[in-house]
Structure 1
């Protein structure tokens, strides 16, 4: 199967302890749509991030996520890779 690029928007919420926790990720069709959705999600969350990930769903091999844009409070880039 050919490589594909997924575009994702994911919110982050504050736990009772004040830590950031990832919400449900939403897949979108384009990078621009992911940025717009992340911006919208950040209005009701601590923050949100738009990112892309490229790989082959058939083999399950994917490159590291590439952060497109952050809004509000989100974990450092290294922590984002293991968020979900």
Structure 2
């Protein structure tokens, strides 16, 4: 009986989903193209959105987004944009995946 309990615990751990909240700044490079800065992870959606607001003032634009999935197997859902502030690319998929 103990073995079945351990197996269930192992399979539950393998299927554990997490959500990451991220703020990502954008600036214009010398050619005028938008370039992503360094992403920062936060504990809550509100904290990520506050950071995006602050980053947009310093960098010209920022986005906050979340991604949920199972890091143990590397599977994640598409990113969900929480807020766009200032000058950010229209298509964020390549920056949020």
* TM band (smaller chain): over 0.9
Structure 2 gaps, min length 5: 1-13
Residues 1:26 and 2:46 are matched in the alignment: no
Q: Say which of 20, 23, 26 aligns to 1:9.
A: 23
**Residue 94 of structure 2 aligns to a residue in which SS?**
coil
Residue correspondences, number? 82
Aligned residues: CA RMSD: 0.9
Runs of 4+ in structure 1 deviating by more than 6 angstroms, as ranges, are none
- Counterpart position of 1:54: 68
Identify, as 1 or 2, the structure richer in strand.
1
C-alpha separation in 1, matches of 2:78 and 2:29: 26
CA distance in 1, matches of 2:19, 2:77: 10
Q: Which has the higher contact order (CA 8 A, sep 6+)?
A: 1
Note the residue ranges of structure 1 that are not aligned, 5 or more in a row: none
Higher-Rg structure is: 2
